Amino acid sequence: MYRPSQTLLNRSLLTLATIVLIRLVTLGLPDLLDSTEGRYASVAKFMLDRDDWVTPWINFHGEEQPYKGKPPLHFWLMDISYLTFGLNNFSARLPSFISAVGIGVLLATLSATLFGGAAAYLATLIFASSTIIFYLSGAAVLDITLTFGITMALVSFLLADRSRYWGHLFFIGLGLGVLVKGPIAVILAGCTIAPWLLIRRWGTGHWPPQLRSLPWIVGPLLFLATTLPWYLWAEHRNPGFLKYFFWNENFGRFFSKEYGDEYGVGHQQPVGIAWLMMLPALFPWSLILIALLVALRKQLFTRAALTALKHDPILLYALIWAISCPALLTAARQYTATYLVPSMPGFALLAVVLWRRQAEKSELTGAATTKILKWAYLLLAVTLMILPIVLILKYDSDRSSAVAGFIAGALLLALGIKTSVLEKPIAALTRITIYSAILYGFATLCLDNNLSINRSSLRVLTLASSLAKPGSTLSVGFPFYFPFSATFYGPLMTSPNMTIVQLDDEQVLVPPTDLIAVRRRNEAELLELDPAKQKLAEVGQWRIYRGSGSNIKN
């Protein structure tokens, strides 16, 4: 059986630390993106401004109103971060980063318990270096925190027969997930647990011990104690909240095209597209998985392999967990790729189980596996060389970062061609992981300016502030499209003090603001309403026009 050396394990740990550091130092880049990041960052800010830790608030249709779209746990974490580190990009994204670290700890604990230290390292490395995890762990979104709760529940369930404490954590994990995004947390956990229980019952003739080991009296009480107080309090404060939240935000989107979203427009997807979304979400590991499936197809896709799967509880659990989200979303109409995140820890666990099974058969160092890993490494190196050039040509990216990325890719390519260390699969996996993180880091640096001036409002608000008279109070109106990030950044402006206003079509004719900020795609619509509007400045996709106020320079 293959046993990695302590040196390789130490390198894996160093690699993991490097990934965490790369993600941490890029946490403030780019500016908060609209609409999702801007919306959630401003919701948490309004709660803090109002000193209201029960009702999330949002600036919508020009007025502050209760936000019935999500429970408050992630917003509480953001507010704690704001109080600790101030109101900025870093603090808005820090809760997702900490949640991702928490998922890694849970995943490492499970893998180490089942298979030992090497498995723990590999599971965490694969999880941390998947594209969607790297980026969302540095985003002001709810999905990583939701996944932490679901992962706690699924890890705890699988280990429930080993200690009663895991059984308690199972119900607490479900409660945390429900406080982040609602009953979808229970549904997603159930999409793994229920099929696994049924298949194990069918295959063995009895229910798995995990089911009997759960504390069925204390556990549900812990779940209710975690969730019920806030839901009842929120309904008391905001009558009708429960009806809107449970139907419109949790069930309607899966069954109806027009499900009544009060806060935006759902992302309509073709049926089954979730399975294709898994490919970029899991990069680079999805490419390696496809290559391995093709190389080992004669051994994997057989009746004997399916029979063995039925009698391998850990492999079966990991497989169901890995496909639970795309399976659930197959027939759904309204979702984004972020909805796939709860399956990512399952994929990492699946990779480790397969690695372990291969190691037990002394096949890990087989020619096919080694060749696939080496080609994956070389592909990453070439991608790191090509991506900066593409970003410069298409997105006018930062040239110094792009050149550095190209040089790094060239060095990695030369190293991969010359070195023989890639003949050792653990070493190859480690290098694939670290070079994936380097690729993501360079992409973040290269796209920072483009995303900040086109998908956020800080740059246009900064430009608008430069047009104000000294000592004045500046009002900026946004017609047609309202960036939620403006309600986060605008009140932070102090020179001059700034007021953000959402304008309707009638207000565009005689705007109650000093300036009007409009996206390039809506500029023609603005000029159609008032051809005499005077453009003062522009940055990225934003155009600034004169309003009717007197607080701007002549």
pLDDT at position 395 is 66
CA-nearest of 100, 78, 98, 96 to 88 is: 78
pLDDT at position 364 is 45
How many CB atoms are closer than 10 A to CB 251? 15
Helical ranges in 396-424 per DSSP H = 399-418
Unique residue bearing structure tokens 């502050």: 64
Banded pLDDT at 145 (limits 50, 70, 90): very high
Most confident of the ranges 6-10, 368-372, 423-427, 545-549: 545-549
Nearest-angstrom CA–CA distance, 524 and 518: 10
Banded pLDDT at 262 (limits 50, 70, 90): low
E strands present in 439-514: 473-479, 497-503
Q: Which of 118-122, 188-192, 250-254, 503-507 shows the lowest per-residue confidence on average (mean pLDDT)?
A: 250-254
DSSP structure string for 167-227? HHHHHHHHHHHHHHH-THHHHHHHHHHHHHHHHHHHHHSS--HHHHHS-TTHHHHHHHHHH
Across-strand partners of 542?
519, 539
CB-based contact 547:515 (threshold 8 Å): yes
Most confident of the ranges 128-132, 242-246, 329-333, 421-425: 128-132
Q: What is the DSSP letter of 51?
A: T
Instruction: List phi, psi (to 5°) of 64.
Output: -80, 130
Mean pLDDT along residues 494-522: 90
289 or 458: which carries more pLDDT confidence? 458
- Strand 542-546 versus strand 515-519 pairing type: antiparallel
Say if residue 482's pLDDT is above 90. Answer: yes
10 or 508: which carries more pLDDT confidence? 508
pLDDT at position 301 is 67
pLDDT at position 149 is 97
Say if residue 34's pLDDT is above 70. Answer: yes
Say if residue 362's pLDDT is above 80. Answer: no
302 or 206: which carries more pLDDT confidence? 206
Nearest-angstrom CA–CA distance, 14 and 276: 32
pLDDT at position 2 is 46
pLDDT at position 365 is 46
CA-nearest of 24, 53, 231 to 134 is: 24
Q: Which residues contact 63 (CB under 8 A, 6 or more apart)?
A: none
Say if residue 3's pLDDT is above 70. Answer: no
Could you tell me how many residues make up the chain?
A: 554
Say if residue 418's pLDDT is above 60. Answer: no
pLDDT at position 363 is 45
Banded pLDDT at 438 (limits 50, 70, 90): confident
Mean pLDDT along residues 112-130: 89
pLDDT at position 287 is 79
pLDDT at position 415 is 59
Q: Which residues contact 413 (CB under 8 A, 6 or more apart)?
A: 378, 381, 382, 385
pLDDT at position 372 is 67
Residue 507 one-letter amino acid: Q
Nearest-angstrom CA–CA distance, 537 and 435: 41
pLDDT at position 197 is 95
Q: Which residues contact 246 (CB under 8 A, 6 or more apart)?
A: 182, 183
pLDDT at position 270 is 78
Say if residue 306's pLDDT is above 70. Answer: yes
- Strand 63-66 versus strand 57-60 pairing type: antiparallel
Bond preceding residue 35 cis, omega within 30 of 0: yes
**Helix, strand or coil, per DSSP, at residue 478:** strand
Say if residue 458's pLDDT is above 50. Answer: yes
CB-based contact 91:140 (threshold 8 Å): no
Nearest-angstrom CA–CA distance, 450 and 540: 8
Say if residue 375's pLDDT is above 80. Answer: no
CA-nearest of 317, 387, 457, 365 to 131 is: 387
Banded pLDDT at 51 (limits 50, 70, 90): very high
- Strand 63-66 versus strand 497-503 pairing type: unpaired
Provide the CA 233 distance to its chain's centre, in angstroms.
29
Residue 200, CA atoms < 13 Å, CB-side half-sphere:
20
Mean pLDDT along residues 264-284: 79
Say if residue 421's pLDDT is above 50. Answer: no
